[in-house]
Structure 1
Amino acid sequence: MGHPYPIREIARQAGLSEATVDRVLNERPGVRASTVALVKQAVTDLDRQRSQLRLTGRTFLVDVVMHAPDRFSSAVKAALEAELPMLYPAVIRSRFDFRESGDAGEIVRVLEKVGRRGSAGVILKAPDVPEVVAAVDALVELGIPVITLVTDLPLSRRAAYVGTDNRSAGATAAYLVDQMLGPDEGEVLVALSSSVFRNEEEREMGFRATMRSRNPGRVLVEQTDTDGLDVAVEAATLRTLEAHPRITSVYSVGGGNRAILSAFSQAGRDVRVFVGHDLDRDNLDLLRGDELTAVLHHDLRQDMRTACQNIMRAHGAIEGEPETLSAPIHVVTPHNVPELLV
């Protein structure tokens, strides 16, 4: 495996021992395929972060741990890597552990591994359940600050939350849907990916409260526990549409919007209004195709910049204490997609 990096750099990036990395690089037998994949990913990440390796300054190795569909995790990774050179003179190096599904125990095991191998800080998107909160608190005890991203763990000892005000985002979605539907009495599908992510719970609460105040007779139909994965979302939506023939519009809290549209198409039904979240690759394509009415977007690059700065504040490299900042919500339609994303 060709690479320009010292074994110790690859080992640090991969979270493995130098001996293990040496065995992989020299293609010695007895190494698990998953370990080989970790080393290959570490080399790929180092290639993408090459500009940071050339900078001089204090180095912070940050772990990004996320339970989210790949379309969103990829957007977060791209946003972070775009911001890394802007954080000069500090040098931020990043390791990634992304998973689309699985139980909270898997996230806990990842966080425990981070604690054992050392880290300057963790940027975390995870379910708000007691075992994850306990794992976060254990990292803090080790001197590793944790920044929650997009969805918060308010009862944990996390240093700060970075993301949007989710209740306000849900309220904005309700305003858009109700305003565009007008007197139409059709029901609205509220599609979540999971019942254990606080951001989705808060978005739904904001949506329901605002819709109730604007149009108390509007029927909202909830759908959840699909992990936002296309196959599960499509199957769930087909079942929901069969059970609720009056659904005409969608508020997609947790994503999987291609799958939702596919289910409507299979059912021979149109979507009058469709509001979703985040300008990931799927939603950009759907906006360009005029298949989404609007997307509620916030600047992920700003989120990642703030998260890294909060980790540096926690270590005293920047003055001040880590702070929670709510990113502004932007309503994006097919006619105002940000130029940098076109």
Structure 2
Amino acid sequence: MSDPFEATTATLKDVAREAGVSTATVDRVLHGRPGVRDATIRRVKDTIERLGFRPHAAAAELARGRSHRFCFVMPKNQNVFMAEIVEHISKVRVWLAARRTLVDVVETDVFDADVLAETLEEIGPRYDGLAVVALDHPRVRAAIDELVGLGVLVVTLVSDAPSSRRAYYVGIDNIAAGRTTGTLIGRFLGGRSGKVAVVAGSLSLRDHAERLFGVSQVISADFPNLDLLAPVEGRDDDDHNRALTRRLLDEHPDLVGLYNIGAGTTGIGTALIESGRAKDVVFVGHDLTPQTRRFLLLGVMDAVISQNPGHEARSATRVLLALSRNEPIVAEQEYIGIDIVIRDNLP
């Protein structure tokens, strides 16, 4: 059987081909030599990052004489955003293989604390490092702590469990994301009065709870003309969210704003269209997907709070690798920014 770590990493020629330039141009960019246009420099650097090109990386890893195994614990029945993270994890497998590292993906129900905890317990110490979309629940925190006690490096991804013994969190500042949404809804409404609804996947997910906290802060402090309704939970499911939105629209004829904290945006947008009130309700959600892009173009959604799934996948793998080698983490490189996308700046 062949060694699974013998896969080749990206080469200088690969970078040149993908960026559409010569190998000499790539070399000039790598060494900071003059004579290359700014746009070309950006394109080459983006390609280097995407392909994970590192000169002599494979030789350096071989010199270390150590291999690693990492695992990503991701939601079962993934929404588009989570599916994109998994896709990007697959793309960095070659980069990891050059560093004598294998990565697996395990899918489970991250909305169910017992199921998620059992999954973590079953995984046990088979891996050197683990990245998990965490549920902030006592049993899940205990499972994470047990893994750490067994010598497994644990990183939380997208949703945090900060009181656990996890080593690092990779994701956006979710309180800031919620506050941003509150400001957007209040400003877009331009002084109109009425109710604002919040649809969450599960408030046991730390990211969803923090987004709710952020939007509540801004609406209550800065927009007294708006009444924030108690949140409802749809488990990021389109059918559930469609039914919840229909009920909210029926029960609150003065509904003027809606914030979808998680996924299941298709169901909410569909219900708004069916009600005939899509143009009257300011609707803000998360993650730029083909469906949220369509809703922005149609005017059903007013703004999308976006984060880069590729950056998150690469960041989690870099962090696990750095932790496993006892190397410093470059916080600036691993910072996950918040983007505000509206119809007029769609990429």
TM-score between both structures, scaled by the size of structure 1: 0.76
Distance 2:223 2:119 in 1: 44
Pick from 76, 82, 85 the counterpart of residue 76 of structure 1. 85
Match status 1:164 vs 2:194: no
CA contact (8 A) 1:100 1:227 kept: no
Match of residue 336 from structure 2: 327
Query: Which residue of 102, 105, 110 maps to 1:93?
Result: 102
Structure 1 gaps of 5+ residues are: 1-5, 10-50
Query: 2:200–2:236: 8 Å Cα contact kept in structure 1?
Result: yes
Q: Which AA in structure 2 matches 1:199?
A: D
Partner residue, 1:257 = 265
Shift of 1:86: 4.8
State the distance in 2 between where 1:166 and 1:101 align: 18
**Equivalent position of 1:40 in the other structure:** none
Worse overlay, 62-71 or 235-244 = 62-71
Percent of aligned pairs with the same amino acid? 29
Match of 2:232 in 1: 224
Paired position in structure 2 for 1:111: 120
Specify whether residues 91 and 332 from structure 1 end up closer, same or farther in structure 2 by C-alpha distance, changes over 3 A only. farther
Q: 1:181 and 2:169 equivalent?
A: no
SS of structure 2 residue aligned to 1:315: helix
Q: C-alpha deviations, 1:282-341, integer Å up to 9, x for none? A: 32343344432111112222222221122122222x622696954221111223233xxx
SS in 1 for 2:171: strand
Match of 1:279 among 261, 283, 288: 288
TM-score (norm 2): 0.75
Describe the superposition over 1:138-161 as per-residue Cα deviations: whole angstroms up to 9, x where unpaired.
Answer: 111111111101111111000100
Q: CA deviation at 1:222?
A: 3.3
Residues 1:279 and 1:108: Cα distance change in structure 2 (over 3 Å):
same
Deviation track 1:66-114 (CA, whole Å, cap 9, x = no partner) reads 2364323201112323344455742443222224565211111211121
The Cα shift of 1:225 comes to: 2.5
- SS of the counterpart of 2:132? strand
The residue number in structure 2 matching 1:15 is none
Letter of the 2:291 counterpart: D
Alignment partner of 1:295 is 2:304: yes
Deviations 1:102-140 (A, max 9, x none): 521111121112115x11211111210000001001111
1:198 partnered with 2:213: no
Partners in 2 of 1:274 and 1:127 — Cα distance?
26
The residue aligned with 2:43 is: none
Larger deviation, residues 137-146 vs 65-74: 65-74
Aligned partner of 1:122 in structure 2 is 130
Distance, in Å, in 2 between the alignment partners of 1:257 and 1:282 is: 8
Q: Structure 1 residue 311 and structure 2 residue 304: aligned? A: no
Q: What corresponds to 2:41 in structure 1?
A: none
- In the aligned structure 1, how far is the partner of 2:106 from the partner of 2:196? 35
